[in-house]
Structure 1
Amino acid sequence: MDGGKRSRVETFFLGSLLLWLASVCFQIMFKKQTQLLWVIAGSFFYQTSNSLIRFAHKDPLFVNTSVSLLHSSLTSASVIFILFRELLSNGPSGMFDHSQLVENTWPWAFEALSFSCGYFAYDQWDMLHYRLYNGWIPSILVHHLVLLMCFTLALYRNVTINYLILTLICELHSIFLHLRKVRRMAGIRDAKSILVKFEWFLNWVTFFVARSAPHVLITAKLIKDAHKFEKGGIELPLALFGIAGMNLLNVGLGIDLLKAFKRERKSQKTNLHHHRE
């Protein structure tokens, strides 16, 4: 990417990030929504984690991936804890009722969503700062921007928090995405090793079980309950816009995963052929 195009990309996404930060600070200071301090706390926590990891490893991509792995692990654990706790309290029929998902907030759901929102803001900044993205319209930056918009608007209005917590179960798959990247940066690329095969197995299983299926089910639930949303309200359009974006990104991610899987297998076969020669 040439300098001019890169500059325009950075200007747009950095500007949107600064506007987002100004909006959050306005809500905290003037609207007295002090619970949004969890968003700021999340950003500081992951930025501090970045700085600590950087003492041991200077490569910006390795540091960024390590922090992303930390976020995926913590978020997955918190979401599973929230869902399991609610499942024991109200059962599946009660916890997935429309009013529960839209109007109510499960214990710790607001804090978990806010903390994760802080991570996406940190990660957007880190990727822009070290230019850890590719393409004229980088999908990862678009992904973070969409999430920041949807998450913060929901947090401001304190609606659909539980729906968004359900979408974060996809972070279970992200663990293996980040593990794969760390593994490759560590030089472990033998496609026939048990470790790599097991990692790919978990990658594909969680892609379908924890990412694709939940987002499709959430889409179906939103469409089914569309008539239950307040007419003229922002909740339904916002939810449909956000989940549609996630589903599109999932399709792109699935294609990229398949290409990476084939590429690793092809590379292994090529190396084996050269070795025999």
Structure 2
Amino acid sequence: NLSPCRFYLHPEMSDDLVGTHPPGAHSLVAVSVGYFIEDFVDMLCNQKLHQSWELLFHHSVVIICFGIAVLLHQYVGFALVALLVEINSIFLHLRQILLMANLVHTACYRLNSLINLGTYVVFRIATLAWMTRWLFLNRQNVPPATYAVGTVGMAIMTPMNLILFYRLLRSDFLK
């Protein structure tokens, strides 16, 4: 995830998450839209709906929100903040690989579980909380339609991520 690099290279985005959109940051969000579309189509074609509906729903929300940022050249900084969530995906995917390889009872799986939980709290829960707070504090500066999309997006993503966190906690630590 190159999102932190974009803020380092363009610190002005930290001050203006709405209007600042350097080409590299805009490209990163655009490529991310492409990734989410490709992953959506792949899941639709290769997985049963009852197994993937949550991720399909998640991807739909991300595609809409990031698509707005890409098409309007606005909220690119906010989308980059949202991409911080994907840092945790590295460890979620590694967890899936270790499960498929039947390596649940290994030190590697245990270490990944700890890192996964830590990055989940920092990069998913804390980021989503910060984004919700930012949206609420800046509601006067955000057009009503965009505010509605952002609010609905956060209202969907936050509970989904809290439920997934509980499932991970239950599966890897409370069994």
| Contact 2:82–2:127, Cα closer than 8 Å, also in 1 | yes
**Structure-2 residue corresponding to 1:261:** 172
**Structure-1 residue corresponding to 2:63:** 148
CA distance in 2, matches of 1:221, 1:210: 16
Q: TM-score if structure 1 supplies the norm length?
A: 0.59
Shift of 1:255: 1.8
Q: TM-score if structure 2 supplies the norm length?
A: 0.91
- 2:132 counterpart letter in structure 1: T
2:24 aligned to which of 104, 108, 113: 108
CA distance in 2, matches of 1:157, 1:223: 21
| Contact 2:7–2:14, Cα closer than 8 Å, also in 1 | no
- 1:163 counterpart letter in structure 2: F
| Contact 1:160–1:235, Cα closer than 8 Å, also in 2 | no
**Structure-2 residue corresponding to 1:22:** none
**Structure-1 residue corresponding to 2:108:** 195
* Residue pairs, 1:91-240, within 5 angstroms: 95-97=13-15, 100-134=16-50, 138-190=53-105, 193-230=106-143, 233-240=144-151
2:10 aligned to which of 63, 83, 86: 86
CA distance in 2, matches of 1:174, 1:133: 21
CA distance in 1, matches of 2:133, 2:96: 32
CA distance in 1, matches of 2:124, 2:49: 22
| Alpha carbons of structure 1 residues 109 and 132: separation in structure 2 relative to 1, 3 Å | farther
> Gapped runs of 5+ residues in structure 1?
1-75, 267-277
CA distance in 1, matches of 2:50, 2:151: 27
Residue deviations 1:108-129 (CA, integer Å, cap 9, x gap): 1110011011111111111111
Shift of 1:237: 1.6
- 1:220 counterpart letter in structure 2: R
- 2:6 counterpart letter in structure 1: I
Percent of aligned pairs with the same residue? Answer: 27
RMSD of Structure 2 on Structure 1 (CA)? 1.9
CA distance in 2, matches of 1:178, 1:164: 22
Residue deviations 1:186-210 (CA, integer Å, cap 9, x gap): 22121xx332221111101100001
